[in-house]
Amino acid sequence: MTTPTIELKPSSHPLSATERERILAGPGFGRYFTDHMVTIKWTEGRGWHDGELVPYGPLSLDPATNVLHYAQEIFEGLKAYRQPDGSVATFRPDANARRFQASARRLAMPELPVETFIEACDVLVQQDKDWVPAHGGEESLYLRPFMIATEVGLGVKPANEYLFVVIASPAGAYFAGGVKPVSIWLSENRVRAVPGGMGDAKTGGNYAASLLAQAEAAVHGCDQVAYLDAVEHKWVEELGGMNLYFVYGDKIVTPTLTGSLLAGVTRDSLLSVARDLGHEAEEARVSIDQWRTDTENGTLTEVFACGTAAVITPVGTVKSAGGEWTQSNGEPGKVTLKLREALLDIQRGVAEDRHGWMHPLG
């Protein structure tokens, strides 16, 4: 099947530069969207077709559209950063494209070719490049590719029609007033994903499953939920939107990908960045008892979470029904901050890109 070309049908009335600059002065996260979006259709027997860049706007869907009932949906998240010379580059779009294919397989959806995924992101960023924040800070343009089942009907089966869409949203610095640790609620009765389930796919259904636990965390005064494995309720998995790292002095350890947690691109990148900086970095199973005991005996010196949106977030207080403890006196740890700067420096183009992660545009 041939790769579709993306036809450019830009808006005749993009937002004025003044309005755009006003938004870019304080974009927050996921609140404003750029002038355009890319859409590509898939139909059984025909494959991918009708790729186009069009003005950002509502999708028109029949109320019986499959995704609205059975949640056959997957998504991605990646960022474009302004480089020192004023150009723009995205971070590891090929890794997101491959994960999008893996998610598609899990949800019985068609796989978008890697080059088409990257081209769709490139075309949108190129068109809306004035929306990429200035170089130097942590601001970026967040890209949200997603795919939905668009067949109309209430039959339960893989759909015969899909829509792939990419939208873009300027993202401000995650920590406006300096990096601050998040508090974690350890959910011992709710699970995010089960073995054989879809915990390793990036799909909205996993997020729907996590909202109640998130609300319970808020009741306990916590910012985020940490999930344990669904079988033994013993092994630490992830935060439901971010992966976890445990810092043992000079060594960093992240939970092994057992199939029920998501393979984060940030998680993977940090294994390499840490080794480049002379740290040992490994994947291992970490139990909840070990988390607590090693914190109390002082061997576990820092804990942080990582993901595209916040890059790295230190973990401060951890609360569970059985008690509460605090990492690194509630301050961001040294290794945490060092890794955060090192990864951000690659992304904003001020450190050597020795793994070829940056994908320049134009």
Ligand X SMILES: *Cc1c(COP(=O)(O)O)cnc(C)c1O
- Judged by the rule CB under 6 A, the positions of this chain that interact with ligand X are 77, 202, 206, 238, 240-243, 262, 264-267, 307-308
- Kindly state the smallest distance separating residue 265's Cβ from ligand X, in Å: 3
Query: Using CA atoms, how far apart are residues 155 and 266, in angstroms rounded to an integer?
Result: 38
Left (φ > 0), alpha (ψ -120 to 50) or beta: where does 329 sit?
Answer: left
Q: Which is nearer to ligand X, 40 or 270 (CB)?
A: 270
Q: Coil, helix or strand for 145?
A: strand
- Kindly state the smallest distance separating residue 318's Cβ from ligand X, in Å: 18
Q: Which is nearer to ligand X, 202 or 348 (CB)?
A: 202
Query: Using CA atoms, how far apart are residues 72 and 162, in angstroms rounded to an integer?
Result: 10
- Kindly state the smallest distance separating residue 193's Cβ from ligand X, in Å: 8
Q: Which is nearer to ligand X, 15 or 305 (CB)?
A: 305
What is the widest separation between alpha-carbon atoms in the chain?
Answer: 63
Distance (Å) of CA 329 to CA 34, 188, 241: 41, 24, 24
Match 């916040």 to its residue by tokens: 310
Report DSSP letters for 153-181, one per residue.
Answer: S---S--SEEEEEEEEEEE--SSTTS--P
- Kindly state the smallest distance separating residue 78's Cβ from ligand X, in Å: 8
Q: Which is nearer to ligand X, 4 or 240 (CB)?
A: 240
Distance (Å) of CA 193 to CA 17, 65, 156, 199, 208: 44, 26, 22, 5, 11
| The pair of three-digit structure tokens given for residue 60, joined into one six-digit string | 């028109």
Match 């003005």 to its residue by tokens: 55
Taking a C-beta distance cutoff of 8 angstroms, is the pair 165, 124 a contact?
A: no
| The pair of three-digit structure tokens given for residue 191, joined into one six-digit string | 């699970």
Query: Using CA atoms, how far apart are residues 289 and 36, in angstroms rounded to an integer?
Result: 49
Q: Which is nearer to ligand X, 14 or 77 (CB)?
A: 77
Q: Which is nearer to ligand X, 169 or 308 (CB)?
A: 308
Q: Coil, helix or strand for 296?
A: helix
Q: Which is nearer to ligand X, 23 or 209 (CB)?
A: 209
Q: Which is nearer to ligand X, 110 or 264 (CB)?
A: 264
| C-alpha closest to that of 92 among 362, 326, 357, 308 | 357
- Kindly state the smallest distance separating residue 11's Cβ from ligand X, in Å: 29
- Kindly state the smallest distance separating residue 238's Cβ from ligand X, in Å: 5
- Kindly state the smallest distance separating residue 101's Cβ from ligand X, in Å: 14
DSSP label at 31?
A: S
